[in-house]
Amino acid sequence: MSKPNEPNVSTRGRTLILKSISLFLSGRNARSNSQQPKPVKTKKMNDKDSKNKISPKLLEIAKKETHFTRLEIENLYKVYRRLISMNRPKTHQDKNVAATSSIGKTTSEGIDRVIFRELLHSSFDIVTEDMMMDRIFCVWDKTNSGLITPESWFLGLNIFLRGTLAEQTDFCFFVYDLNADGFITKDEMFQLLKNCLIKQPQDEDPDEGVKDLVEIILRKLDKDKDGKVSLDDYRTSVKEEPLLLEAFGRCLPNERATDTFITTMKM
């Protein structure tokens, strides 16, 4: 369900998002299969190509900080450009939103929450509650600007598609740490788990089952027995039992969605 003041993305819009990953490929394949001489590029075409071409500095940053190849980075940047072109029209309140990238450029361009949510649904098959969606967005949003910048885009996809178990463990922890204080507390566990159990009408305390589940998981994850889960606790627990990686809710794509995305970005 969409949040208040956020317009719904139409069915056509969701379809466009799903297809946006391969749109840039279709144009390239059509050109390569054509037997006709290549048309002379006009200034308009050059401007468009230039806008969709990643800068050398950003390319080097992405190569250094991710597990992607140069070709994959270039293709992912083209996808990024197509996605930001689908952002909802900016309202008066949006005009002051800006993000500063690691290459020192301040911009109001980026993937907003609406498009990001639809991307998770359509391309990564992540269907979860709004709270979890918002937390995933916040962890991706390295600039805390409300926009996914190019650097955040590469870093987020690196975790989703090529992340090691250790990298994905840290990502999940930061998603579950709702107030970003370095710990997952019992209250946060309750908030994350409260809708995962089917509540029976005859239950005197509908939340009792959730509270019991919180205690069970806490005993499993709280290695130093201080009543909360630290990052070190979480790392140790997941290393011992990888199935605990998404203990408090799904926040990573499944293998099928990952494989599909990786196949596309290699083309």
146 φ, ψ (degrees, to nearest 5)? 85, 10
- Identity of the highest mean pLDDT range in 43-52, 98-107, 223-232: 223-232
Render pLDDT for 169-225 as a digit per residue (tens, 0 to 9): 999 999 999 999 999 999 999 999 987 765 555 556 678 888 999 999 999 999 999
Strands (E), the chain: 99-100, 106-107, 183-184, 229-230
Residue linked to tokens 């956020």: 6
pLDDT of 12 reads: 56
The pair of structure tokens assigned to 235 is 């790392």
Q: What is residue 141's three-state secondary structure?
A: coil
- DSSP at 162: I
Alpha-carbon span 189 to 227, nearest angstrom? 12
Render pLDDT for 65-118 as a digit per residue (tens, 0 to 9): 999 999 999 999 999 999 988 765 544 344 444 555 544 454 568 999 999 999
Across the range 41-47, mean pLDDT stands at 49
With cut-offs at 50, 70 and 90, classify the pLDDT of residue 263.
confident
pLDDT of 55 reads: 94
CB-CB contact of 132 with 251 (8 Å): yes
CA-based nearest residue to 129, from 89, 181, 178: 178
Residue type (1 letter), 65: E
pLDDT of 27 reads: 45
Distances (CA, A) of 173 to 2, 136, 147, 180: 25, 11, 21, 10
Across the range 122-129, mean pLDDT stands at 88
Alpha-carbon span 166 to 231, nearest angstrom? 11
Structural domains of the chain in order of their starting residue, each with its CATH number: 11-162 (1.10.238), 169-244 (1.10.238.10)
Show Cβ contacts of residue 182 under 8 Å, excluding neighbours closer than 6 positions.
230, 231
pLDDT of 200 reads: 56
pLDDT of 32 reads: 44
Render pLDDT for 136-177 as a digit per residue (tens, 0 to 9): 999 999 999 999 999 999 999 999 999 999 999 999 999 999
With cut-offs at 50, 70 and 90, classify the pLDDT of residue 49.
low
pLDDT of 235 reads: 98
pLDDT of 208 reads: 84
Longest dimension (CA), the chain: 76
Alpha-carbon span 130 to 214, nearest angstrom? 21
Residue linked to tokens 């995305």: 261
The Cα angle at residue 120 between residues 100 and 172, in degrees rounded to 5 = 75
Whether the predicted pLDDT of 135 surpasses 60: yes
pLDDT of 1 reads: 43
SS (H, E, C) 72-121: HHHHHHHHHHHHHCCCCCCCCHHHHCCEECCCCCEECCCECHHHHHHHHH
Alpha-carbon span 33 to 30, nearest angstrom? 5
Across the range 118-140, mean pLDDT stands at 92
The pair of structure tokens assigned to 153 is 């885009």
Residue type (1 letter), 29: N
With cut-offs at 50, 70 and 90, classify the pLDDT of residue 24.
very low
Helix (H) or strand (E) holding 134: helix 130-140
pLDDT of 128 reads: 80
pLDDT of 17 reads: 56
Whether the predicted pLDDT of 7 surpasses 80: no
